[in-house]
Chain A
Amino acid sequence: MNKLSLIGLLSIMIRRDLVLAMRRRADVVTTLIFFVIVVSLFPLGVGPEADMLRNMAPGVIWVAALLASMLSLGRLFSADHLDGTLEQMLLVPQSLSVLVLAKILAHWMVSGLPLVIMAPVLGLQFDMTAQSIGVLIIALLLGTPTLSMIGAVGAALTLGLRGGGALVSLLVLPLCIPVLIFGAGAVEAVISGTSVSSHLSLLGALLVMALAFTPWVTALALRISME
């Protein structure tokens, strides 16, 4: 039997998940709207002073992005679990980690990437400067995939459990703290005029580490959960 190359496998899986997401567009849009609403609520809560909002903006946008990505995690494996396709994925004669990685990437493209694209608009709402918006985008680009990957482990561990959504957040949020710190820190560094690159390179390091380990851990967690 001719074995597929890993790239081929990756692309089949990503394409499948993207097609599925496109045919269920409402879910994607819901996450995005959630993100926008959460960010927009903050000025209403703390008052409209431009200075304060400008200082708060990075933190607020990052926390909202974190919450939005938690919200969408439930969809990562549960649909496949319910209709049995996840079982079949476990039986694919290829590395499960690669399939998992593909699923995470596809998930990020439909849930993380829209947040990154939406962020500049929200940044304008908070009167951020062009330079800090630029850094915000780069930081989100580096950080949100890491959030998806850490979240995938949580989603795999809580597969099919009652109260899964809240449980995922409880498990995953503490682990996401470094991403939050460096992500928001990068933007704050621009505002306070200190070096941005150290934050960004730390974010990049986290991303590389997550990329190396989480698909494998998630695959292990899936096997445990399917038992």
Chain B
Amino acid sequence: MLEISNLACSRGDHLLFSGLNFSLSPGELLQVQGANGSGKTSLLRTLCGFIMPDTGEILWHGQNIRELGDQFYAEIIYLGHLNAIKDELNALENLRIGAGLAGCKMDDKQVIAALRRLGLRGRETLPVKVLSQGQRRRVALARLLLSNASLWILDEPLTALDVGAVELMQELISEHLVNNGMVIYTTHQPLEVVGVATRRLALT
């Protein structure tokens, strides 16, 4: 359960948003909408605790995320504009290290299964630098499958993805929601998840 009350955030002198209130319960999907520069990414980064809000607080199960610290980080996964994968490593190594740092013991089979599900069969041990942009994004998305975080925070997850991958993404999100997960995302592309009402939050 994520609750946001009276949140305000500014970058430099520029006030991005203020007086923002919303809450998200298990099984819910929230899309953050707004034009370029309206503060979508800043909002998501504030939710991750990177940015200190000017006012307001962010509560996770009733407790401020600043006080929770590591406990909160263990329950979220953040996918930013950047893929957070290393060009010099291959897809398998990237995911294994990522999961290792998050505290999950992973064997290679699980990682390979996740990569195959995202359509990267046969690409597991290639250095990431030879993959295309869309394939790199898929490697990054595979992290979602390997984590047991309950809150997914996705910033433009669909960039560089083809039609098939977008459908796959919808599938992944709906599975996560069925398992009582929560998802917050931004996108400029249509993303409809069957059977779930998408809540929308518009930033101006």
Where the two chains meet, the residues of A that have a C-beta atom closer than 8 Å to any C-beta of B are: 1-4, 9, 12-13, 16, 19-20, 23-24, 82-85, 87-95, 99, 223, 226-227
By the criterion CB–CB under 8 Å, are B70 and A85 in contact?
Answer: no
Which of A23, A84, A94 has the most C-beta atoms of chain B within 10 angstroms of its own C-beta? A84
By the criterion CB–CB under 8 Å, are B101 and A2 in contact?
Answer: no
Residues of A within 8 A of B83 (CB): 83-84
Distance between A160 CB and nearest chain B CB, rounded to angstroms: 12
Residues of A within 8 A of B89 (CB): 16, 19-20, 23
For the complex, is B202 an interface residue (Cβ under 8 Å from A)?
no
For the complex, is B36 an interface residue (Cβ under 8 Å from A)?
no
How distant is the Cα of A3 from the Cα of B73 in the complex, in angstroms?
12
Given A91-B78, A93-B70, A227-B50, A83 and B101 touching (CB < 8 A)?
A: no
Residues of A within 8 A of B86 (CB): 20, 83, 85
How distant is the Cα of A89 from the Cα of B80 in the complex, in angstroms?
13
Given A1-B148, A226-B50, A12 and B84 touching (CB < 8 A)?
A: no
* Chain B 59-92 residues near chain A, CB threshold 8 A: 70-71, 73-74, 76-78, 80-89
How distant is the Cα of A4 from the Cα of B104 in the complex, in angstroms?
8
Residues of A within 8 A of B105 (CB): 2
Residues of B within 8 A of A227 (CB): 50-52
* Chain B 90-148 residues near chain A, CB threshold 8 A: 93, 97-98, 100-105, 148
The SS class assigned to the B binding surface is loop
Which of B74, B89, B103 has the most C-beta atoms of chain A within 10 angstroms of its own C-beta? B103
Chain B residue with Cβ nearest A94: B70
Distance between A96 CB and nearest chain B CB, rounded to angstroms: 9
By the criterion CB–CB under 8 Å, are A84 and B82 in contact?
Answer: yes
Where the two chains meet, the residues of B that have a C-beta atom closer than 8 Å to any C-beta of A are: 48, 50-52, 70-71, 73-74, 76-78, 80-89, 93, 97-98, 100-105, 148
Given A12-B101, A89-B101, A20 and B88 touching (CB < 8 A)?
A: yes
Distance between A221 CB and nearest chain B CB, rounded to angstroms: 14
Residues of B within 8 A of A83 (CB): 82-87
Residues of B within 8 A of A91 (CB): 48, 73, 76-78
By the criterion CB–CB under 8 Å, are B71 and A93 in contact?
Answer: yes
Distance between A153 CB and nearest chain B CB, rounded to angstroms: 20
23 pairs, CB–CB < 8 Å, chain A vs chain B: A1-B104, A3-B103, A19-B89, A20-B88, A20-B89, A23-B89, A82-B82, A83-B82, A83-B84, A84-B80, A84-B81, A85-B86, A87-B78, A87-B84, A88-B78, A89-B101, A93-B71, A94-B70, A94-B101, A95-B70, A99-B101, A226-B50, A227-B51
Residues of A within 8 A of B104 (CB): 1-2
By the criterion CB–CB under 8 Å, are B88 and A24 in contact?
Answer: yes
By the criterion CB–CB under 8 Å, are B100 and A4 in contact?
Answer: yes
Chain B residue with Cβ nearest A21: B88
Contact of B74 among A1, A12, A89, A90 (CB under 8 A): A1
How distant is the Cα of A226 from the Cα of B52 in the complex, in angstroms?
11
By the criterion CB–CB under 8 Å, are A12 and B97 in contact?
Answer: yes
Residues of A within 8 A of B81 (CB): 84
How distant is the Cα of A93 from the Cα of B101 in the complex, in angstroms?
8
Chain B residue with Cβ nearest A90: B50
Given A1-B148, A87-B82, A93-B74, 11 more pairs with CB closer than 8 A = A4-B100, A20-B88, A23-B88, A84-B82, A85-B85, A85-B86, A88-B101, A91-B77, A92-B101, A93-B71, A93-B102
How distant is the Cα of A90 from the Cα of B82 in the complex, in angstroms?
14
Residues of A within 8 A of B48 (CB): 91
Residues of B within 8 A of A16 (CB): 89, 97
Residues of A within 8 A of B51 (CB): 227
Given A16-B97, A20-B89, A227-B51, A93 and B103 touching (CB < 8 A)?
A: yes
